[in-house]
Structure 1
């Protein structure tokens, strides 16, 4: 089987071949058919990721495929089942803890950038039947994190307002989930062309943050004092404006850190009595709840571009360009 590894951060990916692994007791062998790339993957490959990465790691956390064999004692899965791997294999349910989130795919553990991989029986979820493998591969990171921000942690109710930032995979998922939940969604981007696409996905109002750098107060003005929920993916460069955009007593989910520069005055958290919640992915239980909703509604992830398995370098380069809308995926022939 083919696989990619990273000899050391910044060294570039290396294509290799090895025997297809055998599943041991309690394990499942999956033939991977679809993969998705994330900003985290780019950081790991370039050597900028601040958390531990195992030597010679197989990168990528997001993959989907079909079960081809199971080890002794496995009862949940049989050959032919369509599955996706969970980002944190040990986080099955409940709140996150250091123990549950200690190991992650493509970081401390080998990831999914291979034609075959072995997973623990309970580190997989069934994927919605109407999605192809590449679409299903967008769910483990961007989909689950957006669902947690908007629905699980945010507690979205119909008629509330939500602000999403940019047009990446997590933000487009957050927009779709919020719109499906009956929210009034405001979305920002630096591109008028992208804003048009975001409106087509369900954004009621849009703002160009390049031409409106003080977009926080502008959003508050559009929504009669501020939005109920903000899904912030920018980090230091956006959190200050996000807090200005939130209503008094509003909820701000910090779901990504694309920029470290800038800053925010913490007095806003006090004065506006905001809930500022950092989150990274979620449990297997949350993943399953999201998939149930996706299957019931027929939601389709937004795919910007599809690459072949061998074109992972081109896919990461496209991700780095930040010209995409939604997710960038790889798929096998």
Structure 2
């Protein structure tokens, strides 16, 4: 089968290889992958910023395809079923516990930049007929994370602040609008802000021309602040996110592209009784909920560009450039 191996700690170390098709072990299925999508996690793995057990390995956390073989003991699935697996394959539902968090596709297990992959059946979600492989492949990390940020926290009349126009932010925008929320979104690009408005963003702020964007958020909300900040950046924006959130609001922490070491002002956390909520993507059940929300509300995931399989390194480089809006997809079908 065609695959990519990550052989070192750089994008240049992605090498196209031919490998035997793996056989599913007990409790696993063999998937013929049709599409993959890239996340910042994949970029961190390729750069050596996120540890992997050994190299070479097949990278790429997110993908979708159809089942072509069943391992012993697998029930409820059949050859031909269209499926998308989650990132953390042993986290089926409920609260995350340390023993469940060890095995991750594209990190500690072979990922989606290959024609075939074996996946534990506990990680599978069935793809509805109206959802394409490409759209389903965008959901395991970005869609699930955004769903967990919005679900249960946003209701009609809530105000949500989103940072940037990456996959998580745009999924959160789409889910928040379905929930009846007002959405404020920031970016350094007027062109990206225009695309966000076309997707339903109510207010947009260019943080290059308005460096004190948190003050602008407070102005837009008559001094109240927002109910929820989906914090996809990290260290460079965190203090402003705390300033922009309302009394009793939540800062939902999902990203660290702006740095992973925080220096947090404690006073606003105490005075405004802010909830700082961490997130580790989500369970198989969370992925199923996100996929159901996409299908039911006819949400079209925002796919900026598609790349041919052999051009996967170019997809990584484009992700690294930060020029994308939404998701980048690698087509695995020839």
Match of 2:211 in 1: 213
Out of 188, 212, 227, the position equivalent to 1:190 is 188
CA contact (8 A) 1:76 1:121 kept: no
CA contact (8 A) 1:250 1:273 kept: yes
C-alpha separation in 1, matches of 2:142 and 2:54? 23
Cα deviation, residue 107, structure 1: 1.1
| Aligned residue pair count | 330
Aligned runs of 1:73-222 on 2, under 5 Å? Answer: 73-152=73-152, 155-222=153-220
Question: Cα–Cα, structure 1 residues 101 and 304, in superposed 2: closer, same or farther, change >3 Å?
Answer: same
C-alpha separation in 1, matches of 2:248 and 2:207? 24
Comparing 5-14 with 87-96, greater Cα deviation is found at: 5-14
C-alpha separation in 1, matches of 2:291 and 2:49? 32
Comparing 157-166 with 284-293, greater Cα deviation is found at: 284-293
CA contact (8 A) 2:136 2:291 kept: no
* Residue segments in structure 2 that go unaligned for 5+ positions in a row: none
> TM-score under structure 1 normalisation?
0.96
CA contact (8 A) 2:138 2:301 kept: yes
Match of 2:252 in 1: 253
CA contact (8 A) 2:85 2:284 kept: no
Cα deviation, residue 129, structure 1: 2.4
Q: Work out whether 1:296 is the aligned partner of 2:293.
A: no
Cα deviation, residue 157, structure 1: 1.1
CA RMSD after TM alignment: 1.4
Cα deviation, residue 4, structure 1: 0.9
Q: Work out whether 1:282 is the aligned partner of 2:297.
A: no
CA contact (8 A) 1:54 1:107 kept: no
CA contact (8 A) 1:54 1:109 kept: no
Cα deviation, residue 27, structure 1: 1.6
1:37-84 Cα offsets, whole Å, 9 max, x none, are 1111111111222x4443322101100001111123222211111111
Match of 1:19 in 2: 20
Cα deviation, residue 263, structure 1: 3.9
Aligned runs of 1:5-16 on 2, under 5 Å? Answer: 5-10=5-10, 12-16=13-17
Match of 1:67 in 2: 67
> TM-score under structure 2 normalisation?
0.95
CA contact (8 A) 1:248 1:272 kept: yes
* Residue segments in structure 1 that go unaligned for 5+ positions in a row: none
